[in-house]
Structure 1
C-alpha cells in the first residue's frame, strides 16, 4: 500500500477509507459529483466507503478514483466473499488517457488477493472499460436478500458484471442459480 509515482507528476495511492483524511474524502466526493454530473447521491458515496481506495493525482490534483468494498453474494448454496467495485470515476478533462484502466488494475489486485470473486454494476458508458479488462455481464438472474426476504432485481440484469481472479477465484455458474447480494440502503447494486 502507499503511494507510487507512475509518471511525471502522477502519483497513485491505495489506501483504506480509515486512512483518508476528511479533506481527501471531500476531494473524492467532489470528483465523483463532477464525473457523474450530479447523479451521485449520499447513499452512493456511502457505498464506496469502508474498503480500499485507489486515488490518482496529477500535479497534486485528484483526477481518478475507484474503491472496492466487501459484499456477500449467495450463489449455488454458498455465501461468497465478494470484492464489489464502486465509484470508478475519471475527471472529465482527463478521460481517454488510460486512468480508468490504471484504477481498475489496482482494484483488481485487491480483489485477487482478498476475495473469491469481483462484481460491479456498470453504466452503459462504463461497460466497455470493464469488458476490455475481462469482466463479463452476468447472464443469469440478479437478486438481493432484502429485509422481507429474497427479491429479484430484473433492472440489474445485464448491467451487473463479474470477474474471477486468475488462479484462485470462484468461477460462477449461471445454471447454479441467481446472484443474490446482501442488502444495503439506496441502490442495492
Structure 2
C-alpha cells in the first residue's frame, strides 16, 4: 500500500505547493483553475510521492453545511488526483482511505462534488449521493443549486438523517 503523507497547507514548502499544483493541472488536463486550487488550501493535504514528486493528492478542508437548521462541521474533499502515468495502482484509494479516516474521526459528515469520471471511486467506497436538494448560502441569501443535486456525495459519520436541503457555505468559483 502507498504511504500517504498528511500535511497542513502551512507545512508545505513553496516548492512542494508548486509541485502539487503542477500535478493537479496535469491530472485534470488543464481544467483545474485558480478557484479550484484555492478550495484545496487551508486544510490537510494527503500526498503520495514517488522519487520526491507528488503522484497522488487529495485535500480535506473544513466547511460548514446547513441541514434542517443545524450547522454541520464538514470535512470536504477537494482536489483528488493521480498522475496520469500512475493511475490504476490504488493511489486514489490510498488517498481516500486517509481522507475518510480524518473525516470519520473529526467531522459530522464528509462531502464532495464528484465528476462523472471520479464518481465510481467514491460510490464504491460507500459515499452516498445526497438524495435531497442542494443549495448555497450566498451573499444574497439562500440559492438552490439544482445542477449539483446529482453530483454531491456525502459520508455521514453518525445518525445524520439523509433528508432535506443540504446547504453549503459561499465561496468563489464552484460552490460545491
Alignment TM class, shorter chain as reference: over 0.9
Aligned counterparts of 1:179 and 1:89: Cα–Cα separation in 2: 26
Aligned counterparts of 2:63 and 2:52: Cα–Cα separation in 1: 32
Counterpart in the other structure of 2:152: 160
TM-score computed with the length of structure 2 as normaliser: 0.97
- Return the offset for 1:62: 1.1
Among residues 94, 100, 118, which one is paired with 1:126 in the alignment?
A: 118
Instruction: State whether residues 11 and 58 of structure 1, in contact with CA within 8 Å, keep that contact through their aligned partners in structure 2.
Output: no
Instruction: State whether residues 116 and 170 of structure 1, in contact with CA within 8 Å, keep that contact through their aligned partners in structure 2.
Output: no
TM-score computed with the length of structure 1 as normaliser: 0.90
Counterpart in the other structure of 1:50: 42
Aligned counterparts of 1:181 and 1:142: Cα–Cα separation in 2: 8
Q: CA 1:170–1:28 in 2, change beyond 3 Å: closer, same or farther?
A: farther
Q: Which runs of 5+ in 2 are unaligned?
A: none
- Return the offset for 1:108: 0.7
Among residues 165, 168, 171, which one is paired with 1:181 in the alignment?
A: 168
- SS of 1:125's equivalent? helix
Aligned counterparts of 1:172 and 1:83: Cα–Cα separation in 2: 17
How many residues were matched structurally? 176
Q: CA 1:25–1:172 in 2, change beyond 3 Å: closer, same or farther?
A: farther
Counterpart in the other structure of 1:18: 10
- Return the offset for 1:170: 4.4
Runs of 4+ with >3 A deviation: none
Instruction: Note the alpha carbon deviations across 1:90-148, whole angstroms, 9 max, x for none.
Output: 00011111100000000111111110000000000000000011001111100000000
- SS of 1:163's equivalent? strand
Superposition RMSD in Å? 1.1
Instruction: State whether residues 72 and 182 of structure 1, in contact with CA within 8 Å, keep that contact through their aligned partners in structure 2.
Output: yes
Counterpart in the other structure of 1:103: 95
Counterpart in the other structure of 2:64: 72
Instruction: State whether residues 136 and 144 of structure 2, in contact with CA within 8 Å, keep that contact through their aligned partners in structure 1.
Output: yes
Aligned counterparts of 1:173 and 1:127: Cα–Cα separation in 2: 19
Q: Which runs of 5+ in 1 are unaligned?
A: 1-5
